[in-house]
Chains A and B, each alone.
Chain A
Amino acid sequence: MSPQRATTAAPTALLERALQILGCFGPDANALTLTEIAERTALPLSSCHRIVGTLLVGGFLDRGADRRYRVGTTLWTIAQHAPLSDRLRESALPALARLYEETGENITLAVLDQGQALYVERLMGERSVPTVSRAGGHLPLHTTGVGKVLLAYQPAAYIDRYLTQPLARPTRDSIDQPERLRRDLDAVRERGYSLTRQEMTVGSGSIAVPIMHSDRCVAAVGVIVHLARLDVNRLVGTLNRAATAIVAELELLE
């Protein structure tokens, strides 16, 4: 490699490593030691040490008394300025809170992100059923109520492409046959809401509706309930009122 190429290649490689280090933090790994970071990134301990040092100075990582590193407050603060948080979550939160008060169930708000449903917020209470969704987490599009809505309102080419990939099957009732899923998505568009029964978690069902803004489905709002409480008519009405309220708040921002 010529010296010139080395200098032009190095900078982004370093940045990539820094993002790789941040990327090894996750819901099940929110506090890591330097050794764990080195193991997870397969980077030499010395470069990890150097990059982690830079991230620490900038407040992108914090180090606790237990000598473990965590995502830092500066990074959290910057994250609050993301449109996902600043516009969508901010606009939706009052409606989600009302939805929760009205149903007492698990309420979720999600967007399409890298071929999956990214949960922007989840509200739950004492009597809500346990779920696998968490704010900041991803779940498959075809096994979740919010995911089916997000997928159903994508252009036909997107749906075709989605259907050609292997479809994960977290439960026995998950739809993993492309043609059955396509019919289900058609139904979502026709009636304006999605319905899942034990397709992500055994014992639970979900219903979700789109949040339409400028003729685009920008997000989906859904409710996850125990199968026995899956009262479709009542929940669809409540969800539609919430979606209308969220759209009104989003429009106020313009």
Chain B
Amino acid sequence: MSGYAPGMDAPGSILSQTVATQTSAQTVTGRAFAVLDSFDAGHRRQSLAAISRRTGLPLTTVHRLVHELERQSALVRGVDGDYEIGSKIWQLGTLASVHVELREVALPYMQDVYEIGNDAVQVAVLDGLRCLVVDRIAGSRTISVISKPGSRLPLHATGVGKILVAFGGQELQDAVLGSLDRYTAQTITNANTLRQQLSAIRSQGFAITREELAAGATSVAVPLRGKGGAVIAALGVVSPSAKTEISRMVPVLQVTAAAISKKLALVGLAEAARQRAQ
């Protein structure tokens, strides 16, 4: 399974902090959701003590909240006694816009791309100053990629991320260029170099990264457009650097992106029509 690089999606993410500081002190609902929010890519199974430590809530409070969350299938207790996210939360997640309006539309097309190249395929959207992986298909036969659905990756070091920045607003570009963390020797940390690359990405319509996030991994990505032609997501593949030149996947990705974008525009239109009718 893919290793999760520490610091890639730090536990104290902006979102966790928001929940913990703005709401937890005030309401029991906020505290319960801080408990849920303490589960992330690096903490998928947690003991009561670990939850208490990560939320800063007293053990007795955590005990009571976890018990109630378990009763409602929001959490589930594994055989080892640790807790995991339960079926209720998972089910609710399938109702989120990102799921209904993007993932379900893109998945059949992602399957096709996966079958063609046997490379890991992913779709990501912008989430603050990170890209949020909405879905991916990757088996043990593909390269071990860090991204999993729900992971947040740096924008400047991933193919999908570069697409989202290149086609994003000026404000986003300035914010990203202002803080370029290094992950490998190949990560682009010079703002001018990246600025030029973003401009090239806009004109050529695809982005490539070579070992900029993890050694041995190369990625290529293209934009996905919603209704009105705005770029709302990115589609990419990640493959081992040693494999055949990754740019061979560009035409496949572009054809697929056009098909997905056509569907996304329809979904957008259907949604707009439904809203007008109500």
Using CB atoms and an 8 Å cutoff, list the residues of chain A in contact with chain B: 10-12, 14-19, 22-23, 25-27, 30, 51, 54-55, 57-60, 62, 64, 66, 68, 70-86, 90, 93-95, 97-98, 100-101, 111, 113-114, 118, 123-125, 134-136, 248-249, 252-253
Contact = CB atoms under 8 A, between A and B. Distances in A.
Given A77-B132, A83-B44, 20 more contacts: A58-B18, A60-B33, A71-B93, A71-B96, A76-B93, A76-B96, A77-B15, A78-B85, A81-B41, A84-B90, A85-B149, A94-B141, A94-B142, A97-B111, A111-B87, A114-B87, A135-B104, A249-B139, A249-B140, A253-B1
A82 B86 contact: yes
B200 interface: no
A51 B1 contact: no
B180 interface: no
A197 B146 CA distance: 42
Contact of A85 (B19, B90, B107, B142): B90
Q: Is the interface of B mostly helix, strand, loop or mixed?
A: helix
B99 interface: yes
Interface stretch (B22-30, B220-228, B229-237, B247-255): B22-30
Q: Which 9 pairs across A and B sit closest by C-beta, in order of nearness?
A: A79-B93, A80-B150, A136-B94, A94-B139, A82-B85, A76-B96, A82-B90, A11-B28, A97-B111
A168 B37 CA distance: 38
A82 B29 contact: no
B96 A72 contact: yes
Given A76-B98, A124-B108, A16 B15 contact: no
B65 interface: yes
A15 B68 contact: yes
Given A15-B28, A136-B95, A252 B1 contact: yes
18 contacts: A16-B68, A16-B72, A19-B74, A58-B34, A64-B97, A76-B99, A79-B92, A79-B150, A82-B86, A82-B89, A85-B90, A90-B138, A90-B148, A94-B114, A94-B138, A118-B91, A125-B108, A249-B140
Give chain B's interface residue range (CB within 8 Å of chain A): 35 or more
Given A59-B18, A71-B96, A81 B150 contact: yes
